[in-house]
């Protein structure tokens, strides 16, 4: 059960990567220019900071779920939905130069979504085996 065996490490590593979005909340001009590789627009500072805290806290919760197994189902569900939508956005905008700064995040988000699906598949299979044994 590969995905289940390494779920704690996956949540910790990808949680740290996701929590890095907190840079947008606290250093929006630097993050937009250097991470997102986009021009910083002063009038959009609320959006940048809100997005940074929202995604950054998702990362913090993923880190928490690495150590609190009872948090995993709900945190992994929310992260898979949030990250899955980001992957869809990136895929539907391939070729658009404005997504270049988000490619690395998109790769990580794809890994998280696929890992979550693999984890759920293993959990379902284990539950089915448990029921069959009774």
- Condensed to tens digits (0 to 9), the pLDDT of residues 89-131 reads 999 999 998 998 999 999 999 999 999 999 999 999 988 877 7
- The tally of domains found in the chain comes to 1
The whole domain housing 120 covers 2-133
Predicted TM-score of the model (pTM): 0.90
∠ CA 68-73-74 to the nearest 5 degrees?
95
């Amino acid at each position: 059960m590969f995905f289940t065996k390494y779920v704690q490490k996956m949540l910790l590593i990808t949680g740290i990567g996701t929590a890095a979005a907190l840079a947008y909340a606290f250093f929006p001009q630097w993050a937009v220019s250097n991470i997102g590789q986009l021009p910083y627009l002063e009038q959009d500072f609320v959006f940048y900071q809100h997005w940074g805290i929202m995604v950054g806290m998702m990362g913090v919760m993923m880190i928490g779920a690495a150590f609190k197994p009872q948090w995993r189902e709900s945190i992994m569900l929310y992260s898979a939905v949030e990250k899955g939508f980001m992957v869809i956005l990136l895929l539907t905008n391939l070729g658009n130069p404005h997504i270049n700064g988000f490619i690395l995040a998109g790769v990580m988000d794809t890994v998280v979504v696929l890992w979550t699906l693999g984890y759920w598949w293993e959990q379902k299979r284990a539950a089915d085996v448990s029921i069959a044994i009774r």
